[in-house]
Structures are given as structure tokens and as C-alpha cells.
Structure 1
Amino acid sequence: MSRYRYGAYHDGPDPLAPPYDVRSALDAMGDSVLEGTDPAEALRELLRRGLPDSPRGRGLDDLLRQVRNRRRDLRGQGRLDGTLEQARALLDKAIGQERAALFPDPDDEARLREAELDTLPADTAQAITRLRDYDWRSPDARATFEELKHLLRRDVLDSQFRGMKQALEQQDPAAMQRVKDMMAELNEMLEKDARGEHTEEDFERFMGKYGDLFPDAPRTLEELVDSLARRAAAMNRLLASLTPEQRAELAGLMAQALEDAGLAMEMSRLSDALRARRPDLDWGGSERMTGDDPLGMGDATTALEELADLAELEAALRQDYPGARMDDIDEEAVRRALGRRAVDDLAELRRIEAELERQGYLRRRSGSLELTAKAVRRLGETALRRVFSQLEAARRGDHDQDGAGQAGELTGASREWRFGDEQPLDVVRTLGNAVRRSGAHRPVRLHAGDFEVLETERRSAAAVCLLVDLSYSMVLRGTWGVAKQTALALHSLVTTKYPQDAIQIIGFSNYARVLQSTEMAGLDWDMVQGTNLHHALLIAGRHLDRHPDFEPIVLVVTDGEPTAHLRRDGRSVFDYPPSPETLVLTMAEVDKMTRRGATLNVFMLADDQRLVSFVEEVARRNGGRVLAPTPDRLGEYLVSDYLRARRRA
């Protein structure tokens, strides 16, 4: 018998895991898009805020805040002239110890030595150069001076190679010789790479010998170059951040230390190679440190190197440049600066962006981000759910139902399927037909003639026209996003619960036009003069005439009286206050609607006296109703009105 062993699946993502739920992310984006925000900006805003219902809930703004706090803390760590201060202190100590040894000696040689010490230059580097060959009388002074030189060697090398200060903690000539050998081999490897002769084996052999001198453990030559170049650039910025006097003094100390260690030439070769390979780094900037404690050269360089990394990370996290993507953010930089939790937050945000595209809610076209038809349908469903939740809270109207979209209630009977039927299949009868046709003990194969569908009660159909004001005043009054959301909600309701109805959304400003549901979400207002309800009613009338047997339903959402009409030549004419011709032509279309049996219900989003007078006249002539909802209840009023009309149909 075959034996099987079961265990955790390790060959990639769990194939049985449910798809990542980004619907709440899309809904959050949709609110901004409906208010007129570009989809790309809406996505950036979502990623900045993070998802409120996410277990982590932290966005790019939270990561940015952490980065800025870390930069502030780093700047407050100390001063950049710590090595200078330490060098001066050790030099003064050595000179003091030497004077103490010379003072009791009455010999003229002691006085000459004292005179030589009196004439030492104030510049620490020059003073050290003068004392290089000085024959110290005091053993303590000689030891202090050697300590000074060792400090400078360690600090200078630590400013180039992170962790070198610890490696050279003991004054071991063999350790210093190993550093010399490492630098020589490193320069040779870089020159070999520049000639195209470098191999991976060369790098592995180099790291095998000197890997302990590189605590960040680079995996390739490029990683090693990047690490060294960033640190070298930080050292240059350290010098640029000092006063001219301090800069000259520290540069002299560094040159003195490298010359004493026999590394001046190798360091110069390395510096030139790194600058040539990474000219994109900031080699000449400066940074202001605000702390009081003096920092050694290695620690100061580390602080400046981290500050530069944080500046780059901050720019990436802001995502405010053209074509910005979450993939631009360096995960390793986040890990170094903010820790593992921040990396997890970043992964969550990246997944939101990637899944919105992968699951077909967003697409990139010609460098811009767009909502897909699938996303617009989702926004309509969400808007409808919100409307129904308001209706449920108010205990009126219909309620959301699972499986809505059938053309009527099931009767229990079935019939043969015909092309175009949308009723659910009768699976039992369909399979029974196939078995009887195929015969017993034979494979069952379905043919078109086997299918049967469940019969439903016939419902009357409605021709629905929603006329939405697109004028700029809708934006000024804060009703623009609500109007678009309501239009999407109604469209979703009609197409899912009443698919036999024919809905047309018409937008109007100086002209009117039919709007597709896919363009409603990203639709912008019209920065023109005119509220051409006359043209909108003309288009709505043609829609009703195409469906003569349907129940006519006309809904108008506006915040202003008609101020434009369409002339016979097709041009729009604007007048404010409204001209008599505009009012006459608009009322003529209202009368035509009345003769068609269509009731006009007007949802008035402003209480201007002219608008009130106009809509009251429309209601008097047509028999429709005037509703004045607050913007936040527009969807509730409009959907309730549609459902009320459907119940009468």
C-alpha cells in the first residue's frame, strides 16, 4: 500500500488561502475619489493614513514620524569635534607630564626643551608633527603621546571602516599590519573589477580572510562598495560640518595618523575609487548636530551616515514624486532605522497596493492610475450598503438581501432554458434530462437542450432616469461627492436587484450628457456657467421613449434653478437670472414628461428662493414631489423614492 506523509506547505503562498481582502482599502480610496481626488493621490492618502480596521493600522505617516524622531535624536547625540577635543586633551596631558619632569632639572638642556614646548603651534596637528621626533624625558608623557597617536589611528580608520575602533583596541602591531594588508587587497580587487577581471571567487576569498573587519557582512562586492562609499561620504560631510579652523585641524590630524600608520597612499587610492563608483552620493553636504557630548570621529561618522540614510528613507516614504511606488522604499533601510515591526507595517502597505492591482481594482495606463469597472461596481455596492444601513436605522424602505437580482419570486416550476435567460438553473431537472438522454451506464454529457431554469413571477420593468447636477456650485456646497455616491448606489441597486429595469444616469451643467457607471467615480465637476436642466430632460425623454412599456421614473438632483437651455442649432445659452425662454423651454419638457406618465421627483440640495419657486411649479404641473434632504441623507431619500415607485410598478 502507498504511504503518505503530511506536513506544512513550503513551496510558496498557501494555494488554499482565501484572497487578500482589499475591499475596505478600496472603499477608503473611493470616498476620496468621489470627492474629486485623483485615484493615484487617493491611494497615496490611504497608504499615508493606513487602514483603520487593519490589525496594525499604521501608515506611511506613522513611519515618517518615527524617521523624523530618529533624526532628531541622532542630531542631539553630541558634537562632531569630539576627536579634536580628545586629541587636544591628550596632547596637553603629555606636555604637562613632560614639563613636570623637566622643572626640577637645573640643566640648560631642560630649559631648551621647555623653550621648544613653549613654541609649539596652537594647531594640534602641527604640534603633533613637531613632536613626532621629540625625545620625551618623561616615560608617562611618552606613553600619553603614543596613546594619542593610537587614538587617532583608530578613529581615522573607524571613520572609514565601521567597527575598526574595536578591532584595533589593543596596540597590536600584527593587527595594524593585517589592516594594511586588507586595504591593499581591497584596492587591488576594486582595480581588478574596474578592468572587468573580478570574479565572485575573488570576493569570497577576500571575505574569508577579512570578513571579521566588516560587521555589516556584505554579500557582494557592490554591497561592500556601497557600505564603504556611504561611510566615506559621511566622513566628508563631517569635515564640511566643522568650522574652517576645526576642519583644517582635523584634516591635519587624519593625514598625520594615516602617515604614521603607513596607510596614507592606500587610503587615498580607496577614497578615489569609492568616489568614482558612487558619484551620486552626497560628498559635500553638511549636518548640524545639537548635542553637548563630544563624539569620536568614528561615532560622529556613524551618526552622519545614519542621518543620510534616514534622509533618503524619508524622501521615499513621502511618495510625493512622479511615478512613486511602494517598491521604491528600501526594506533594509527601514529595518536598520526602525526595526522589524516597521518592516511588517511596510509589507502590509505594499500588499495593499499590489493586491489592488492584482485583483483588478486598479490599473496603470500611460503612467497614471485608474479605477477599473470592477472597482466602480464595488464602490456602488458599498454606497448602496451604506444607504440601506441608513434605511434600516430609520425603519423604513427595503433591506439588503443576499442573492438579489432575480426577476421575481420563484414559483416552484421550471421550463426549458432559452438564450438570454437570467433565471437560476434547475440543476436536478437538468441532470435528469441528460441521464435520460444518454441512457444508463454511460457517461453523462450535458447538451444545451438538457438545461432547464426555475420560473419566477414576472415583474414589471421600469425605465429609470437619474439627472445629476454637475455644476461647480455642487462642489462649493460640499454635495459633489454625495451626489456621485448616490448615483453609484442607485445604479448598483437597479442592476443587481432589478436587472430588468433600464437605468440611465444623465449629468448636466451648461450641456447634458449620458454618464456611464464606470466614469462616475472619477468624474470631475464642470467649471462652466449654466444649469441646463432643459437639455437633461430632453435626453431623459429619449430614454423613456425607447422603453414605452416600462414604468417611467425620473429623479432630479440639483442645487440650482435652470440657467441655461439648448437652442435649435444645438448650442447652449446661459442667462442669470434665468431668461424667460430658459424657463419656458424647461417647463415644456416637464409637461412632456407629464404626458408620458413620468413623475418628476426633485431632490433639492439648496434652499434658494428662486430654486424653491421653480421646483414647486414643477411639482404643481407634473404631480411629482419636492424633497429637501441634507447631503448626508441624499442616498437614503433617493433610494427610498425609487423603491417606493418600484412597489407601485
Structure 2
Amino acid sequence: MEEYNQNIRKHSGFTFTKYEEEEKSPFERLLEVFQELIVHTSGDVDETLDWMDQLNLEYNLYTDDYTKADFIEDLKKHGYIRDDEDKPDGKGMVITAKTEQIVRQRALDQIFGELRKSGKGNHKTKHTGVGQDKTGEMRSYSFGDSIDQIAITESVKNAFTNNGIDDFRLTEQDLVVNDTHHSAQMSTVLMIDISHSMILYGEDRITPAKKVAMALVELIKTRYPKDSIEIIVFGNDAWPIKVKDLPYLQVGPYHTNTVAGLDLALGLLRRKKHANRQIFMITDGKPSCLNLPNGEYYKNSFGLDPHITDKCMNKAKEARKLNIPITTFMIAQDPYLQQFVEEFTAANQGKAFYTGLKGLGQMIFEDYEKNKKRNIR
């Protein structure tokens, strides 16, 4: 066998060697740990370094040749952290925009690792027209078709058939083009539940939700640059957050005001000119809060309150009339909550997934990719 392998190497012109993983520097190894922990600590550099101190006791992260002080100095030198200017005594550090982007890219690699950047990323619809993906069929040339859509071989063949060899000429009537799917843009609002239950019962649910949000944002920016995504968080109230705020996202002592979140999401999508609009909602709890006209809150954490759920159903129907599907990713597994989600989904004619934290990102990606059946208006 060894002789056989040697003959292959000899006659193939290639030289094969045993793969050896490139050795990482101490800074590169520690940076990976830092990037992972900074998401769990919601962007708190000091807390992250404290966690690394704890890990160092067990795994010897630092050495005499490369100390914690060396690592902090390199983080500053490479632009990952800086001193917090808001603290007068000079103590404390914060992450930079560079780190915010790096953790989004890391989340993308972790959740959608098989994807690569593409120049254009558009969603197919059942309509044909100008696009990237060929349908496998050809049609006659029409004014406005792009030159790169023309099927040269078939068009020349038509010219020979129609005009003959002696009087060869290529006319518009001879031209055929490769038919393609119409390119559709997508406007997405991602709603994230930040009620207190997202960290109850010893399970950290907010960190996976943050990672999914960061991955989805980075995916759209790289693979679907013409699409748009906006992030909403909802607790007692709902408010939009910027992409740069995602690493710092934390839960609060909130109830779950699903109606406020949906109301804000619909308001944002009404302004969009794109034909395809959708809402993704990540939640683990039941709706338990409403805003009252006098500025106070109506709250009920015990069971499903019809006064609250009826308002949710009205929002689901409102979204349906606007042709905006709502896809709910329900982390909790309670049967009575699943029944509510089923009724909510039926009112909207959307979709629902009942899932744990594992595989949440992949399901969101797959649903985003498959959401290509709505008409272009």
C-alpha cells in the first residue's frame, strides 16, 4: 500500500504531507476565549477578565511569558478594547466597534458556519424576471433584458436556422435568454423577549438569542446586502436597538408585552417599500403585560389572561391584512403556551417552531431562506 501511495505521489505531480494545524500565538488563543465570554457578560470587559481569571486557575490560560497584563496590553494595541472615558478615575475598560463586529462574525461562523460571503443574495419568488438563479428554461428576448442573460449558443443556432449560412445575420428575433427567478428584497424585524424569564430556572436563554440576532444581522449584511433587518426588544415596553447594541443586551425585571413589540414591529415595516416583509419573534414566555391609555401597565403573570391574549390575536390579524407573516420561535415547551401560539399563528397564517436553544439559529436561517413564496407587488 505504501508503495502504491508513493507511485501516486510520484506520477501526480503533487506532494502530500501530513496536515498540521497552524499553531496560534498566546494572544490568538486568549482572544477566542475573550470573544466568547464577552457575549455572556453583555460586553462587560472587567467581568470578562474576571471570568478569565477563574478559568486561569483551572486551565492555566496565562503563563510567565505571557501574563494577563500582556493580554490586556495587546487587546488595546489591536483595537479590541479601550479605557472607559466615562469613569473619572481611569478605571474600567470597554469594547470597541471592532470587537462588536468581530463577535457578530463569530456568531455567524458558529451558527451558519457553512455559508460564505456572496456578492448578491436575493430571495427567489414564484415570479420570473431579472435575477441570479436560472430556472433551467429559455424565453425570447424582451426589451430591458440584461445582455449577460442572452444564451449565445442558442441564439446563434436560431440565426443559422432562420437565415441560413449564406445570409447569416443575428437579429432580435433570434435572441433567447436564460430565464431567471425574480430577485426579491426582504425587510425583517427580529423581536427578542428580554423578560426576566429569559434567565430563570438556571438556564441562560438570552445569550443564545443574542448570538442568533448577531448572526442573522451579519448574514444579511454579507449574503443579502439588499435586504434590511431591524431588532426590537420587548419587556414591559418595546423599543428598537441598534446593531452595535446587541453584545450589550441584557434581560430586565420585566413582564412580557408582546402587543407592544408587535405594534412597534408593524409600525417599522409599514414604512418599508420592499414587497416582502416579515417578523421573527423569539420568546420563551406568555404575554403578560399591556400598556394602558393612562400610561400605566396592566400585568397578569398567572395563566393566560384573555384581555391580553385577545389583543395579541388582534395584532396577528392586523399583520395578516398587511401581508406580513409572523414566525414565532417558542423556546418554552408548556402545552398551554403551545396552544396559545398555535391560535396566534392561525390568526396570522404564519409559522411557529417549538424548540429548545439548540438548533435555534439554524431553524431561523432555514426559514429566512425558504421565505420566498410571497408575491412581488
SS in 1 for 2:66: helix
Size of the aligned set, in residue pairs, is: 291
- Give the aligned partner of residue 472 of structure 1: 196
Letter in 2 for 1:353: I
2:34 aligned with 1:29: yes
- The verdict on how the C-alpha distance between 1:505 and 1:25 changes in structure 2, with shifts beyond 3 A counting, is farther
- Give the aligned partner of residue 103 of structure 2: 379
Counterpart pick for 1:400 among 108, 115, 131:
115
- The verdict on how the C-alpha distance between 1:520 and 1:402 changes in structure 2, with shifts beyond 3 A counting, is closer
CA RMSD of aligned residues (A): 3.0
- Give the aligned partner of residue 549 of structure 1: 274
- Give the aligned partner of residue 5 of structure 2: none
Counterpart pick for 1:354 among 67, 73, 81:
73
Task: State the 1:412 CA deviation.
Answer: 7.7
Within-5 A mapping of 1:426-441: none
| Stretch deviating more after TM superposition (460-469 or 404-413) | 404-413
Task: State the 1:376 CA deviation.
Answer: 1.7
Counterpart pick for 1:49 among 26, 46, 55:
55
Structure 2 unpaired stretches of 5+: 1-24, 123-130, 134-145, 149-180
Give the alignment's TM-score, normalised by structure 2.
0.69
Counterpart pick for 1:537 among 262, 285, 293:
262
Bigger Rg over Cα: 1
Counterpart pick for 1:388 among 105, 112, 115:
112
SS in 2 for 1:345: coil
Counterpart pick for 2:235 among 506, 509, 525:
509
Distance 1:595 1:615 in 2: 19
Deviations 1:433-466 (A, max 9, x none): xxxxxxxxxxxxxxxxxxxxxxxx9732111011
- Give the aligned partner of residue 265 of structure 1: none
Letter in 2 for 1:545: R
- The verdict on how the C-alpha distance between 1:587 and 1:548 changes in structure 2, with shifts beyond 3 A counting, is farther
Task: State the 1:404 CA deviation.
Answer: 4.7
Distance 1:404 1:353 in 2: 37
Within-5 A mapping of 1:441-520: 459-476=183-200, 477-520=203-246
Distance 2:265 2:243 in 1: 16
Within-5 A mapping of 1:66-465: 342-346=63-67, 349-365=68-84, 366=87, 367-389=91-113, 399-404=114-119, 409=132, 459-465=183-189
Letter in 2 for 1:400: L
Letter in 2 for 1:463: S
Deviations 1:307-330 (A, max 9, x none): xxxxxxxxxxxxxxxxxxxxxxxx
Deviations 1:323-371 (A, max 9, x none): xxxxxxxxxxxxxxxxxxx53132xx44432232222222221233222
- The verdict on how the C-alpha distance between 1:45 and 1:588 changes in structure 2, with shifts beyond 3 A counting, is same
- The verdict on how the C-alpha distance between 1:535 and 1:343 changes in structure 2, with shifts beyond 3 A counting, is same
Distance 1:377 1:614 in 2: 37
Distance 1:560 1:566 in 2: 18
Structure 1 unpaired stretches of 5+: 1-19, 61-341, 390-398, 414-456
Distance 2:224 2:117 in 1: 13
SS in 1 for 2:184: coil
Residues 59, 345 of structure 1: 8 Å contact kept: no
Deviations 1:42-88 (A, max 9, x none): 133335536x9xxxx8424xxxxxxxxxxxxxxxxxxxxxxxxxxxx
Identity over aligned pairs, percent: 24
Distance 1:404 1:647 in 2: 23
- Give the aligned partner of residue 561 of structure 1: 286
Distance 2:267 2:220 in 1: 19
Residues 312, 344 of structure 2: 8 Å contact kept: no
Residues 206, 250 of structure 2: 8 Å contact kept: no
Deviations 1:63-118 (A, max 9, x none): xxxxxxxxxxxxxxxxxxxxxxxxxxxxxxxxxxxxxxxxxxxxxxxxxxxxxxxx
Residues 363, 370 of structure 1: 8 Å contact kept: yes
Within-5 A mapping of 1:623-634: 623-634=349-360
Letter in 2 for 1:546: R
Counterpart pick for 2:46 among 40, 59, 63:
40
Task: State the 1:555 CA deviation.
Answer: 0.7
- Give the aligned partner of residue 335 of structure 1: none
Residues 565, 586 of structure 1: 8 Å contact kept: no
- The verdict on how the C-alpha distance between 1:24 and 1:488 changes in structure 2, with shifts beyond 3 A counting, is farther
- The verdict on how the C-alpha distance between 1:482 and 1:643 changes in structure 2, with shifts beyond 3 A counting, is same
Structure having the higher strand fraction is: 2
Residues 27, 382 of structure 1: 8 Å contact kept: no
SS in 2 for 1:527: coil
Task: State the 1:409 CA deviation.
Answer: 4.7
Task: State the 1:21 CA deviation.
Answer: 9.3
- The verdict on how the C-alpha distance between 1:458 and 1:31 changes in structure 2, with shifts beyond 3 A counting, is same
Structure having the higher helix fraction is: 1
Distance 1:26 1:469 in 2: 30
- The verdict on how the C-alpha distance between 1:501 and 1:357 changes in structure 2, with shifts beyond 3 A counting, is same
Letter in 2 for 1:357: K
- The verdict on how the C-alpha distance between 1:487 and 1:623 changes in structure 2, with shifts beyond 3 A counting, is same
Distance 1:400 1:603 in 2: 22
Distance 2:182 2:74 in 1: 41
SS in 2 for 1:539: helix
Residues 316, 345 of structure 2: 8 Å contact kept: no
Distance 2:26 2:271 in 1: 41
- The verdict on how the C-alpha distance between 1:22 and 1:598 changes in structure 2, with shifts beyond 3 A counting, is farther
- Give the aligned partner of residue 317 of structure 2: 591
- The verdict on how the C-alpha distance between 1:531 and 1:580 changes in structure 2, with shifts beyond 3 A counting, is same
